[in-house]
Amino acid sequence: MEKYKILVIDDHPEIRYSFPLYELKLREKGFESEFHIVSSIVEFEELTKEFFDILMVDYNLRNGFFTDGKKSEGTDFIADFRKNNMINKIIFYSTDFKYNSNGLSSEVQLDIPKKEYYDLINKYRIDAIVPKDNTEMIVEMIKNCIQNLDPIIKFLRNTRDKFEQNGDSLYYTVGETEYTISQLLEEYQKDTEIGKKFGKELLETVSTLLLDYRY
């Protein structure tokens, strides 16, 4: 069974004690998972070549996560991350977020400025916002993210690792420009026009090869 890797961005390392429970509950839902945590931007930068399916980002990162004194919140991290990766799933969580349910409706109350909330949803494409102390909701959102993962980005990363380790090169040509698999992965993660073009052509090619046409 495939194991999904989740990277937790949190400057309170004790959150790691929740990982076995998350992994157990996800296993009960049919998903194997593996959680990792980074508690500083330095630790995160050391993992830039690692592949993670989902990021969980804490809103409050004021406990020494950043080296830049002007940054202190999860939204700062997400804004920087999305400059290079618009594809990976992101779950935003905090003890400041509260879940209310009255039996007829439910909602997560956010103690953040409206513009930040708008940017999180529309600009940075956050996949879920959940309270940090609601285990069931966190697990459910992780499950939803797993079920909606982009298969192309994993294909590109696996292909890059396989061929570049052997010293081989693959190229994708657009006009007179050739893109290596690493360059193509970067384009796809940034959701550029080149990345979108490749994704569309890949899906069309796979569909043509797999579908049987009858005349």
Question: Do residue 157 and residue 59 come from a single domain?
Answer: no
Question: Do residue 126 and residue 69 come from a single domain?
Answer: yes
Question: Do residue 170 and residue 116 come from a single domain?
Answer: no
Domain harbouring 139, CATH code:
3.40.50.2300
Percentage of the chain modeled with pLDDT above 90:
66
Per the structure, the count of domains in the chain is 2
Given 147, 168, 183, the domain boundary residue is: 147
For range 43-62, the mean pLDDT: 93
Question: Do residue 183 and residue 142 come from a single domain?
Answer: no
Question: Do residue 98 and residue 190 come from a single domain?
Answer: no
Question: Do residue 46 and residue 121 come from a single domain?
Answer: yes
**Distance (Å, whole) CA 50 – CA 38:** 13
Residue 107 pLDDT more than 90? no
Residue 30 pLDDT more than 80? yes
Residue 104 pLDDT more than 50? no
Threshold 0.75, pTM exceeds:
yes
Q: What is the mean pLDDT of the chain?
A: 89
Which range of 30-39, 87-96, 151-160 scores highest in mean pLDDT? It is 30-39
pLDDT at 96: 79
Question: Do residue 103 and residue 157 come from a single domain?
Answer: no
Residue 4 pLDDT more than 70? yes
Q: Which domain holds residue 169?
A: 151-210
In three state form, how does the secondary structure of the chain look? CCEEEEEEECCCHHHHHHHHHHHHHHHHCCCEEEEEEECCHHHHHCCCCCCCCEEEEECECCCCCCCCCCCCEHHHHHHHHCCCCCCCEEEEEECCCEEEECCCCEEEECCCCHHHHHHHHHHCCCCEEEECCCHHHHHHHHHHHHHCCCHHHHHHHHHHHHHHHCCCCCEEEECCEEEEHHHHHHHHHCCCHHHHHHHHHHHHHHHHHHCCCCC
Question: Do residue 156 and residue 54 come from a single domain?
Answer: no
Q: Is residue 215 part of a domain?
A: no
For range 172-176, the mean pLDDT: 89
Question: Do residue 98 and residue 160 come from a single domain?
Answer: no
